[in-house]
């Protein structure tokens, strides 16, 4: 079983809609959760992080964490074509000093 | 302020050849990481260095060696390249928290 699971997609949403990206993890001791965005042919860049249960909002992005269910999600409101990318979920590893990445979800926003 | 830089950007090797991938950061970060990214596999950690003078294995270290030359530079060496090492290699760094990592532009390596 992979430590961090994501649906590979592609997830297709129309422009202006809400995109919902999901991630589950296996290590109950994980404390930190991150979302990276990666455009095709580019390197990953951090867009959100969350440490506590609940929601964290930053502009059009909302990260949601449920540690009991070992589930973290990213909502993108008012999706734009420029949001089309692969979104990588990352969780801190066993000893807290390494990240474990999911395989990523491809998001396509159609205008 | 260039952030994280990597050289070369592209490389083609024949099986059995060796090469070193270079990484440097100018953000005074303590920790540095080497990942490989393959289609459908996400990013997998090869080696990391929590501070100057220390290195540790990640998830997929076989076939690789690393050197933390100083606080700025962290190199990855392939002693005898194999086709299974065809991948995109990313270097990353951060100051303390493991998650807020800054990535270099990547090196696309093909081993024939």
Q: Does A10 touch chain B (CB under 8 A)?
A: no
Where does the pLDDT of residue A94 fall: very low under 50, low under 70, confident under 90, or very high at 90 and above?
low
pLDDT, residue B97, reads 66
pLDDT, residue B42, reads 87
What are the pLDDT digits (tens) for A43-93? 999 999 999 999 999 999 999 999 999 999 999 999 999 999 999 999 986
Chain B residues inside the 8 Å CB shell of A43: 90, 103-106
What are the pLDDT digits (tens) for B51-95? 888 999 999 999 999 999 899 999 999 999 999 999 999 999 997
What the block records as the tokens of A80 is: 């734009």
Contact B56, B2 (CB under 8 A): no
Distance CA A18, CA A8 (A): 18
SS3 B76: strand
pLDDT, residue B41, reads 82
What are the pLDDT digits (tens) for A30-52? 889 999 999 999 999 999 999 99
Smallest Cβ–Cβ distance between B101 and the set A33, A46, A96 belongs to A46
What are the pLDDT digits (tens) for B22-53? 999 999 999 999 999 998 888 999 999 988 88
What the block records as the tokens of A76 is: 């993108």
**DSSP secondary structure of chain A:** --SEEE----EEEETTSPEEEEEEES-TT---EEEEEE-TTS--EEEEEE-SSEEEEETTEEEEEETTTTEEEEEESS--GGG-EEEEEEEE-TTSSSEEE---EEEEEE-
Chain B residues inside the 8 Å CB shell of A4: 42
Shortest Cα distance from B91 to chain A (angstroms)? 10
């Amino acid at each position: 079983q992979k430590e961090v699971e994501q649906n590979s997609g592609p997830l297709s949403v129309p422009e202006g809609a809400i995109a919902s990206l999901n991630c589950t993890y296996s290590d109950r001791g994980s404390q930190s959760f991150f979302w990276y965005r990666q455009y095709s042919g580019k390197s990953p860049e951090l867009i959100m992080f969350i440490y506590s249960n609940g929601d964290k909002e930053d502009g059009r992005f909302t990260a949601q964490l449920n540690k009991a269910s070992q589930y973290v999600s990213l909502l993108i409101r008012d999706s734009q074509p420029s949001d089309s990318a692969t979104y990588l979920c990352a969780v801190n590893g066993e000893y807290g000093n390494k990240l474990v990445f999911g395989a990523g979800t491809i998001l396509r926003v159609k205008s | 302020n260039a952030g994280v830089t990597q050289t070369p950007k592209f490389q083609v090797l024949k099986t059995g050849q060796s090469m070193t991938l270079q990484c440097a950061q100018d953000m005074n970060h303590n920790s540095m990481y080497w990942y490989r990214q393959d289609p459908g596999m996400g990013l997998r950690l090869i080696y990391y260095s929590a501070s100057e003078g220390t290195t540790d294995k990640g998830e997929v270290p076989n076939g690789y060696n690393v050197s933390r030359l100083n606080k700025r530079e962290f190199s990855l060496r392939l002693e005898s390249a194999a086709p299974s090492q065809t991948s995109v290699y990313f270097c990353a760094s951060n100051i303390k928290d493991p998650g807020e990592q800054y990535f270099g532009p990547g090196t696309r390596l093909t081993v024939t």
